[in-house]
Amino acid sequence: MIQKQMTSETAVFASDHHFEENQQIATKCQSVKHTGVTRGLPTYAIIAQSNTFQIRHVPEPKLPIAEAGDLSPVKVTPRDEYLEGREDGKVRILDGFDKQRHKIFPIVTARTNEFVRGLLASQIDDEIGGLYREAKKTLNLSPRNLAMDSGHGNGNLDCSYFRFSIEGQQDPDDAGQYLIVRRLELREGWEDREEEIDQLFGSIFDSLVVEIDSDGMKFDTLVELFEGIESAHGGNLDEDRRSKRIEYAAADGTGITIDVGAGRLALSKPSTSSCSELVDVAREYRFTLDGPSRLLLASA
């Protein structure tokens, strides 16, 4: 039995069969290019005899686990998951803020928040409009396959591969600051358009967030687990017992935040430059998953 590799461009076979027979086999195998083999991995034609073959899919190499990546004692029940990026700044510098007429009050109210959202509205409308045009071109989508909506300091794009949302508001913790939150929900099959999605969104997201059911999580047990990880693998652990939140910075720069009170798990790494790279970083940390996840990998 002869096994020969087919590249994405050609199918080349070296055997004792006549050229005409090889040409017939190559013609049959040419269609393999269009079968959607995962992420550009090579496909092999296993030839048993003239004019017959079978296709063997080579499994994708396993993503390595990080040195401090065995988090199997942490049981995660995902409720929602997305990439997230946050931008903040001073309200006074926004277009439309008149320093002679407008005043920043010391507390955030529904009325002051609405005012800040109004200041951010045109910026967010422009961003959504630009992403809409670029997404149509990059992903070759028609208007019927890409929904867009924006207004009042919010906006979103929706297609079969993702849902992107952006929300502007007054920072609830600092009345003098504005906050823009961008989120990207990656849907089933997004990896088929990974390159285009990376091109479209670049590095605007800085964390992968999983909203979790934290009812069964014991804060003290989590602290003890990460103290052991810190002792064995280095890094730095910080805990906030009042809000039941732990933050662990691994030696490789990855940040892991588990907020038991808010039911939120976040993984980040400052050096990531694309959506797929951020997902790959998160996948190097393995939890026990009690439910399906499109973004995390379960512990073995």
**How confident is the model at residue 22, as a pLDDT?**
45
Residue 226, phi then psi, degrees to nearest 5: -75, -25
DSSP string, 212-232: E--TT--HHHHHHHHHHHHHH
**How confident is the model at residue 60, as a pLDDT?**
54
* Longest CA–CA separation in the chain, Å: 88
**How confident is the model at residue 252, as a pLDDT?**
92
Residues lower than pLDDT 50 in the chain: 1-44, 58
| CA 23 centroid distance within chain | 43
- The predicted-structure confidence for 203-230, as pLDDT tens digits, reads as follows 999 999 999 999 989 999 999 999 999 9
pTM: 0.79
**How confident is the model at residue 36, as a pLDDT?**
36
**How confident is the model at residue 169, as a pLDDT?**
97
**How confident is the model at residue 129, as a pLDDT?**
97
Radius of gyration of the chain (CA): 25
**How confident is the model at residue 281, as a pLDDT?**
96
**How confident is the model at residue 4, as a pLDDT?**
42
- The predicted-structure confidence for 79-129, as pLDDT tens digits, reads as follows 999 999 999 999 999 999 998 899 998 999 999 999 999 999 999 999 999
